Amino acid sequence: MKLAGVNAASEKRSPLTPESIKKLKGLGYDVAVEPGLGAGAGFSDSVLESAGATVTADAASGAELVLASGVLADEAVSKLARGTRLVGVLNPYDHAESLASYANAGVDAFAMELMPRITRAQSMDVLSSQANLAGYKAVIDASAHYSRAFPMMMTAAGTVPPAKVFVMGAGVAGLQAIATARRLGAVVSATDVRAAAGEQVESLGGTFIFVKEAMEEGEGTGGYAKELTPEQQKAQQELVAEHLKKMDVVITTALIPGRPAPKLITAEMLAGMKPGSVIVDLAAPRGGNVDGEAEGVTILQPDNILDGLAGEASNLLARNFLSFVTLITDKEGGKVHVDPEDEIIQGIQLTRDGDVVHERFLK
């Protein structure tokens, strides 16, 4: 069996690492990688070769499985053999047109970020593994742009007050942002429309800021928040607007699957913030949670914040891929076996035998 690692030109994360290559070979795979596959993550071609991979420009040729950390160009997809299984971070919501490319090429595509949030799939959950790092990096980036210190300091020249950090959205990224800001000594508060998030925020030492009317219906499917009604949005915005006036650093993380990112901070809210404050908008790739700008407020809206942590992001991502590949590998028969009735397969398979099969993307 042949397994290949390929990637989008702009993606620094690697779907394969020396560790995962060795384990994939133990499953019976011959592993091939494109030249430079791991360069952005700190893995040279020679390091991947030492782990057992073959480095070749036509890595995907004849491969039964192809792993990718980013969305491949249509030209790259067209070169894959019919029946190839493409497993990757394929971003189908923002690249729905790619599904036609997969179907036309006869490629069976699997989007790892659609992984169902069930116990059996936890080790394959790329969203959680990457969001953890994103929440951490958001605070680190904010601290680099904030012109003051995060922790309280007692000095002979006077006391340095702690930074006030506000995290909007207490999912995986938000909780890690809270934990990181607390470790740096900041006073942290957070908000979320999911009632269950309150206890999690407080367990990390944060103060939970909430609007009861919005939380009553804020719980969505799969642990995600759902879109609020206009009345709920108004109540939430009024609370947030007052709280923002006191904040030094704000991290926004709110996303709704398949929808544009909700606008949590308006231009009017920004105008009320303190000069020198910093916002990191982790929802920027899906339109952002921040709408507008204001003098004296630094707004960071990274397209891919994990470019700055590509090595560690690759380590986690490769383990997610390895867990999924292990699931679909018939160890006794030495073949790839995809069970269309498996809950995990049903959750992430986009195309099969030339057709789009995922219910969210059927027209």
Cβ neighbours of 170 (radius 10 Å): 27
The share of the chain scoring above pLDDT 90, in percent, equals 85
Query: What band does 87 get if pLDDT is binned at 50, 70 and 90?
Result: very high
For range 115-138, the mean pLDDT: 97
Contact 345, 327 (CB under 8 A): no
Contact 303, 284 (CB under 8 A): yes
> How far does CA 19 lie from the centroid of its chain?
22
Q: Delimit the CATH 3.40.50.720 region(s) of the chain.
A: 2-124+309-356, 134-308
The token duo for 267 is 């231009």
Query: What band does 243 get if pLDDT is binned at 50, 70 and 90?
Result: very high
HSE-CB at 19 with a 13 A cutoff on CA atoms is 13
Determine the pLDDT at residue 196.
Answer: 85
Whether residue 98 is predicted with pLDDT greater than 50 in this model: the reply is: yes
The token duo for 352 is 């099969």
Burial of 42 (C-beta count, 10 Å sphere; 0-12/13-18/19+) = middle
Whether residue 80 is predicted with pLDDT greater than 80 in this model: the reply is: yes
Q: How far apart are CA 65 and CA 1, in angstroms?
A: 8
Determine the pLDDT at residue 346.
Answer: 97
pLDDT digits (tens, 9 = 90+) for 29-62: 999 999 999 999 999 999 999 999 999 999 999 9
Determine the pLDDT at residue 219.
Answer: 53
Determine the pLDDT at residue 212.
Answer: 67
Query: What band does 323 get if pLDDT is binned at 50, 70 and 90?
Result: very high
The CATH number of 2-124+309-356 is 3.40.50.720
pLDDT digits (tens, 9 = 90+) for 135-194: 999 999 999 999 999 999 999 999 999 999 999 999 999 999 999 999 999 999 999 988
The share of the chain scoring above pLDDT 70, in percent, equals 95
Burial of 231 (C-beta count, 10 Å sphere; 0-12/13-18/19+) = exposed
Q: Is the dihedral of CA 16, 20, 23, 27 positive or negative?
A: negative
* H or E stretch covering 250: strand 249-252
Flag the least confident range among 57-66, 190-199, 225-234, 314-323.
225-234
Flag the least confident range among 123-127, 138-142, 214-218, 285-289.
214-218
Q: How are strands ordered across the β-sheet holding 30-33?
A: 54-55, 30-33, 2-6, 65-68, 85-88, 108-111
Q: Is the dihedral of CA 346, 349, 352, 354 positive or negative?
A: positive
Active site residues: 117, 122, 125, 128, 224
Flag the least confident range among 66-75, 115-124, 330-339.
330-339
Contact 124, 118 (CB under 8 A): no
The architecture in CATH of the region 134-308 reads 3-Layer(aba) Sandwich (3.40)
For range 243-251, the mean pLDDT: 97
Whether residue 239 is predicted with pLDDT greater than 90 in this model: the reply is: no
For range 245-268, the mean pLDDT: 93
**DSSP, residue by residue, 333-358:** TTEE---TTSHHHHHHB-EETTEE--
pLDDT digits (tens, 9 = 90+) for 206-229: 999 987 665 555 555 444 555 667
Determine the pLDDT at residue 229.
Answer: 73
Query: What band does 319 get if pLDDT is binned at 50, 70 and 90?
Result: very high
Cα dihedral 106/111/117/120 (nearest 10) = 60
